[in-house]
Amino acid sequence: MGDRPVIRSAAAAALSIAIGCSLFAAPAASQSITDRFKSLFGGKSEEPAAAPAAPAERSITDEGGDPDLTCPPVAVRAGASTFAVGAPGKQAAGNDLSYQATIGKTARECTIKAGQITARIGIQGRVIAGPAGAPSSVQVPLRVAVVQAGVGEKVIATKAYTTTVSMSEDTSVPFSIVADELVYPAPSGTVADSYVFYIGFDPQALKPEPKARPKKKQ
């Protein structure tokens, strides 16, 4: 019994070092969505090869493509770069921290058809177990938003995603997700230069959507 505080303190210190390293790491790098299957997310593609695009559809990735199509850069939203969960009924801090997720690398791909842009954002990160211990599986909630940056920031489109991560005996487990089917109107002129893909953790994504109220009978 007397050894437990020492073990928990050592675990907390190790977690603090791991989190500290992630906070001082370089900003999330952005790579081509094409390369995500080869290098970013594990070597081999988990999806069948895409069929050649029809003439009416044009695409662009980080590596280049259609010069008339802008694929906004990816940035992690301030204040949403980590997702910390505490033990049941506890705050996510110190020895009561169950686990924490962080974002590492990103990739993006855009296609345009009939004036609509469809974006796919690849996100890679890690889930780090805390001193309180993580459950066997955890859900990681993420949100991707297309934003027109500027003095009066404007959200053009937004969508929430979740991915389930199986925790092993390791204290740090990687996760990856491709946020797809994010569709928004293609911007015109120089307005496109102010567009950005903001990504971040969003706990609200774990809450079930409210049920529609039944219509009153006439």
- pLDDT at residue 59 above 80? no
Q: How many domains does the chain have?
A: 1
Q: Bigger pLDDT: 116 or 60? A: 116
Q: In the structure, what pLDDT confidence band is assigned to residue 30 with cuts at 50, 70 and 90?
A: very low
Q: Is residue 213 part of a domain?
A: no
pLDDT at 214 over 70: no
For residue 218, is it within any domain?
Answer: no
Judge whether residue 135 has pLDDT over 80: yes
Q: For residue 28, give Cα distances in angstroms to 62, 64, 108, 202, 213.
A: 14, 19, 12, 17, 41
Rg of the chain over Cα atoms, rounded to whole angstroms, equals: 20
> Is 177 domain-assigned?
yes
Q: Is the dihedral of CA 155, 158, 162, 163 positive or negative?
A: negative
Q: Does residue 217 lie within any of the structural domains?
A: no
Residue whose pair of structure tokens reads 């695009």 in the numeric block: 53
Output the pLDDT for position 6.
39
| Sheet strands (E) in the chain | 29-32, 58-61, 64-65, 74-76, 82-86, 97-113, 116-129, 137-148, 154-166, 172-185, 195-201
Q: So what's the pLDDT on residue 13?
A: 44
Token pair in block for residue 181 = 């089917």
Q: Are 146 and 120 in contact (CB under 8 A)?
A: no
Q: Average pLDDT, whole number, for the chain?
A: 74
Lowest mean pLDDT among 46-50, 55-59, 182-186: 46-50
Q: Is residue 120 part of a domain?
A: yes
d(CA 15, CA 150) in angstroms, rounded, equals 37
Question: With bands split at pLDDT 50, 70 and 90, how would you rate the model's confidence at 171?
Answer: confident
Q: Indicate yes or no: pTM above 0.75.
A: no
DSSP track, 126-155: EEEE-TT---SEEEEEEEEEEEE-STT-EE
| Domain around 58 | 4-206
| 212 located within any domain | no
Domain assignment present for 29: yes
> CA-based angle 146:103:128, to the nearest 5?
150
149 phi and psi, to 5 degrees?
Answer: -75, 160
